[in-house]
Structure 1
Amino acid sequence: MTADLPVLLALALALCAAALCAALIVTLRPLLQRYALARPNARSSHKVPTPQGAGIAVIAATLLIGGGYALTTGAAPLALLFAATPLIALVGLVDDIRPIPVLPRLILQAIAVGLVVLAAPSELRLVPALPLALERALLLIAGLWFVNLVNFMDGLDLMTVAEAVPITAALTALGVLGLLPLPAALIAAALCGALLGFAPFNRPVAKVFLGDVGSLPIGLLLGWCLLELAWCGHIVAALLLPLYYLADATLTLLRRMLRGEPFWAAHRTHFYQRATDNGFTVARVVGEVFLLNLVLAALAGLSVALTSWTADVMLLILGAGVVALALRRFARPRAMEASRRG
């Protein structure tokens, strides 16, 4: 059983995290402007040098507000999560300033993900038929991929906000209903608020970016919350919530591997990047992603409510269908979309 998250407490955590994040960004922005400029290149979506590193404020607000309150409840030990999140944020910070080679970067990320996955209680299982060591190894690989795909998808103004706010809002709602462990619900509420506090600074044209220092730990915290949801028996809901990111990033990776391209190198061939090349405005892309994620959140909520494998299969197929339609739209030139509707 999990404890309910009171609605007023969830709102208070989100508002406090939003205010703290915004205040920290205002304070940090002159330093980021001086020491952490992201300069545009052929793979960038921005045109002018823009400070990056606002993820410091997002993660600090999330851990101080959501994590701080979670610690006072004594609901569950969060020490390893609190160790892993700053560790992966530090890896991102260094990589923002001076790129780290691929292998050392992945090893450090794997250590952070491993702190969260491998140290979880042995009674928490997704597939009891699998040996525990094998299941945890697969979760480690999945967690490492999820952290990186969140980073890969943070390539457009407000994109991470459009993805993570619906997910964290849905997780918070499940916590209010007592369907998600309290620590995960508290972190989700605070992360949702922190991202809303970041949003005004990142709306097109962005005044500041998250940077890897933000996208990597956001991926870790989101992945942990979704894993907690899956451990509660809601595996399909945990897949539906991030399904757009999973599809865009995974299909792009597979396409690059099949073409023999250096898939680890920076590029701009994700579906959302192709959409801007195909005539979609940034606002249109992130708006459609936000609406798509609201639909996926609704489907995830139905999956939790119906508790039926038949319903889960149907909802997963429906979710995959709406994501496939969005990817197809993004991959087609805007003029072709207009003529097809006409």
Structure 2
Amino acid sequence: MAGWDTWLTVAAIALAALACAMLIVAIMPLLARYALARPNARSSHKIPTPQGAGIAVVAATLTVAAGAIAVVSSAAAIPALLFGATVLIAVVGTIDDIHPIPVLPRLLLQAIAVGIVLAVLPENLQILPMVPVWIERAVLLVAALWFVNLVNFMDGLDWMTVSEVVPIALALVALGLAGFLPADATLIAAALGGAMLGFAPFNRPVAKVFLGDVGSLPIGLLLGWCLLQLALHGHVAAALLLPLYYLADSTLTLVRRIAKREVFWEAHRTHFYQRATDNGFPVIGVVGRVFGLNLLLAALAGVSVLLGSAAVDAVALLGGAAAVTFVLAQFGRPRRIGLG
């Protein structure tokens, strides 16, 4: 992207943050009245708390991203179907927040939204060109559906989604400004990162409001799409490194629950970050470690993209895996007295 576009990207971050914060203030009375999240088996909060701030995050992201992309329309077209699928999955999340939808219908509706996004990918754009397109698209459908849901699963602690999405989104912005990501994906990442910064003050421990499924599901779809664009443009290692903590925590938790023959689709609090609070870690200590880890993963992703060799990718992935393992191991055992 050109130097002029750099200023547009920075403006998109700032405008999305401001718009999101203003929208949250505007809708907070309605959320407090009609959308209280009451503590359940999965919850880390102790008292009923308004949810649904994701409405503001998604609205600010889509509006600002659409406007910014329109400004550089000579280089990028507004991905209307992506935005439409995002609205669809946000509606599904809204309904689920108000009146829980059974598992299978919920997954079907989410799969439709994900499928819409994948269906419009050019056939000549693949991660693995030697694999038949239909096989790769089928794998991507399952992977994207899992990613959308894992973002939702991991949104169970104040500032947790902020500490994950902000570093990833801003890393994607930096890669886009350096020319490694298309303009539309760069501007969507900028708007999403900005919107999450606008949401952050309201979600700081102890949170005044939560995202709700109306926020976490669309965030997963938009973030997953940006990461997919990075992978489709030849940077698979970076696309795996950026969300590696989320991938590891949620996937290992799912595998562990299946191995124990638990009803794995029901609400629970056995993710590593949830076990960390049960093991004596303060909320700030947990999200602070996740944020620091994500900064490290972003740096490794940057090195992987800039140096661009298979050997560097392998070393970066091993380093990222080691760092994630270290944090998960910390979260999985009781905290030592005197540590934050």
TM-score range, shorter chain: over 0.9
- 1:331 pairs with 2:332: yes
Per the alignment, residue 48 of structure 1 pairs with: 47
Per the alignment, residue 241 of structure 1 pairs with: 242
Equivalent position amino acid for 1:335 in 2: R
Residues 113-160 of structure 1, C-alpha deviations (whole Å, 9 max, x = no match) = 011112211111011111100100100000000000000000000000
Per the alignment, residue 91 of structure 2 pairs with: 90
- 1:269 pairs with 2:270: yes
Contact 2:66 2:78 in 1 (8 A): no
Q: Structure 2 vs 1, CA of residues 31 and 200 (structure 1 numbering), >3 Å: closer, same or farther? A: same
Per the alignment, residue 63 of structure 1 pairs with: 62
Equivalent position amino acid for 2:48 in 1: P
Equivalent position amino acid for 1:219 in 2: G
Per the alignment, residue 181 of structure 1 pairs with: 182
How far, CA to CA, are the matches of 1:66 and 1:314 in structure 2? Answer: 34
Residues 4-51 of structure 1, C-alpha deviations (whole Å, 9 max, x = no match) = 773222211111000000000000000000000001123310011100
Equivalent position amino acid for 1:23 in 2: M
Equivalent position amino acid for 1:109 in 2: Q
Q: Structure 2 vs 1, CA of residues 239 and 4 (structure 1 numbering), >3 Å: closer, same or farther? A: farther
Per the alignment, residue 191 of structure 1 pairs with: 192
Per the alignment, residue 79 of structure 2 pairs with: 78
Contact 2:69 2:78 in 1 (8 A): no
Per the alignment, residue 214 of structure 1 pairs with: 215
Per the alignment, residue 300 of structure 1 pairs with: 301
How far, CA to CA, are the matches of 2:150 and 2:3 in structure 1? Answer: 31
How far, CA to CA, are the matches of 2:338 and 2:313 in structure 1? Answer: 32
| TM-score, length basis structure 2 | 0.97
Per the alignment, residue 26 of structure 1 pairs with: 25
Equivalent position amino acid for 2:241 in 1: L
Per the alignment, residue 15 of structure 2 pairs with: 16
Q: 1:223-234 residue pairs with structure 2 within 5 A? A: 223-234=224-235
Per the alignment, residue 149 of structure 2 pairs with: 148
Tell me by how many angstroms 1:336 deviates. 7.7
- 1:313 pairs with 2:314: yes
Q: Structure 2 vs 1, CA of residues 192 and 77 (structure 1 numbering), >3 Å: closer, same or farther? A: closer
Tell me by how many angstroms 1:82 deviates. 1.1
Residues 271-295 of structure 1, C-alpha deviations (whole Å, 9 max, x = no match) = 0000000000000000100000000
Residues 166-202 of structure 1, C-alpha deviations (whole Å, 9 max, x = no match) = 0000000111111100000000001111000000000
Greater CA drift, 119-128 or 274-283 = 119-128
Contact 1:4 1:175 in 2 (8 A): no
How far, CA to CA, are the matches of 1:35 and 1:295 in structure 2? Answer: 40
Tell me by how many angstroms 1:233 deviates. 0.2
How far, CA to CA, are the matches of 2:78 and 2:206 in structure 1? Answer: 40
Equivalent position amino acid for 2:23 in 1: L
Equivalent position amino acid for 2:141 in 1: L
Tell me by how many angstroms 1:333 deviates. 0.3
Secondary structure at 1:334 match in 2: coil
Secondary structure at 2:250 match in 1: helix
Q: Structure 2 vs 1, CA of residues 5 and 166 (structure 1 numbering), >3 Å: closer, same or farther? A: farther
How far, CA to CA, are the matches of 1:92 and 1:316 in structure 2? Answer: 33
How far, CA to CA, are the matches of 1:194 and 1:306 in structure 2? Answer: 31
Q: Structure 2 vs 1, CA of residues 103 and 3 (structure 1 numbering), >3 Å: closer, same or farther? A: farther
Equivalent position amino acid for 1:308 in 2: S
How far, CA to CA, are the matches of 2:208 and 2:296 in structure 1? Answer: 29
Q: Structure 2 vs 1, CA of residues 252 and 43 (structure 1 numbering), >3 Å: closer, same or farther? A: same
How far, CA to CA, are the matches of 2:265 and 2:96 in structure 1? Answer: 14
Equivalent position amino acid for 1:31 in 2: L
> Unaligned regions of 5+ residues in structure 2, if any?
none
Q: Which runs of 4+ in 1 moved over 6 A?
A: 2-5
How far, CA to CA, are the matches of 2:256 and 2:133 in structure 1? Answer: 32
Greater CA drift, 329-338 or 87-96 = 329-338
Tell me by how many angstroms 1:3 deviates. 6.7
Per the alignment, residue 36 of structure 1 pairs with: 35
Secondary structure at 1:335 match in 2: coil
How far, CA to CA, are the matches of 2:216 and 2:50 in structure 1? Answer: 15
| TM-score, length basis structure 1 | 0.96
Percent of aligned pairs sharing the same letter: 66
Q: Structure 2 vs 1, CA of residues 119 and 235 (structure 1 numbering), >3 Å: closer, same or farther? A: same
Greater CA drift, 228-237 or 4-13 = 4-13
- 1:139 pairs with 2:140: yes
